[in-house]
Amino acid sequence: METDQERLVLREPYASIVLWGRVLLLVVLLWGGLVSVLSTSPPPRSVEEFQAALRAGEVTYIIERGSGPSLNDLRWSAGPLFWYRVDGLWHVDEQGVAVYESADLAKDLYAAKARPFVRHENNGNNSQGIFPDWPFQVPVAHVGWLAGGAYVLAFLGMLGTARPRIGNRWAWFWLFTVGQVGAILFLMLEPRPVWWGVHEELPRSSQMGGRMGCLVSIGVAIVTGLAAFAIGEAVRLLVSVATGP
């Protein structure tokens, strides 16, 4: 008859694969979250600096928002971790015309040395519904979809976990959606923290139900928003110190 030790030995390769899969998905989501935060409120640069970087082929990704000829927001990156916002879009010249509009951007893109990836955002609601937007809108050309795929796999893993340790499936559902970072927390903590490895088991805590999970997810979303703001401001300060005002 098979002993507990023998069963553990037989399960070890499978458990190791699952553990490293969790680590991989976690790294992808953390990467996507960091890039999304850095792109949200980057340090300002002038129109002339943006045009110079575009001509030099340094711009890899552009996020532009506006309606008609007007540009309300224009952000650009010189690599996933280096984001800037074009300042002064609302300034007008002596004739009352905005100094930089959609037509100007199109002309600069046509003349660019290397055309960057451009994402247009409407002034209206671009929401994904109850699910968080950031995993599916990571602003990295060609591989931004990786974070969305990692989120979907983590969500399916949550639904397929027989006995979550911290909360039931409804609690985790709210953390995945309202809580914004539930996928990251799930990969880190369920069914055991990733730093506990394969063998060690933790005693089961009293599980959160759906109602408590919903309340906790609201608190997690608030803390996540504050943390994202703090990270963005810290990066802006570092960039300003490194490159000057």
pLDDT in tens, 128-169: 678 899 999 999 988 999 999 999 999 999 998 878 889 999
pLDDT of residue 226: 93
The DSSP letter of residue 44 is E
Please report how many Cα atoms fall inside a 13 Å half-sphere around the Cα of residue 40, on the Cβ side.
19
CA distance 144 to 29: 11
| pLDDT digits 0-9 by tens, 80-138 | 788 999 987 766 555 555 678 888 899 999 988 888 999 988 765 556 678 899 999 99
Q: Is pLDDT larger for residue 52 or for residue 240?
A: 52
pLDDT of residue 35: 93
Can you give the pLDDT at residue 76? Answer: 93
Instruction: Give the Cβ contact number of residue 117 at 10 Å.
Output: 15
Burial track 80-101 (b if 16+ CB lie within 10 A, e otherwise): beebbbbeebeeeeeeeebebb
Residue 229 and residue 112: Cα distance in Å, rounded? 33
pLDDT at 2 over 60: no
Distance CA 20, CA 17 (A): 5
For residues 71 and 230, give the distance between their C-alpha atoms in angstroms, rounded to a whole number. Answer: 27
Residue 67 has pLDDT above 90, yes or no: no
Classify residue 152 as left (phi > 0), alpha (psi -120 to 50) or beta.
alpha
Global pTM value: 0.84
Instruction: Please report, in angstroms and rounded to a whole number, the separation of the first and last CA atoms in the chain.
Output: 73
The pLDDT value given to residue 9: 43
pLDDT at 235: 77
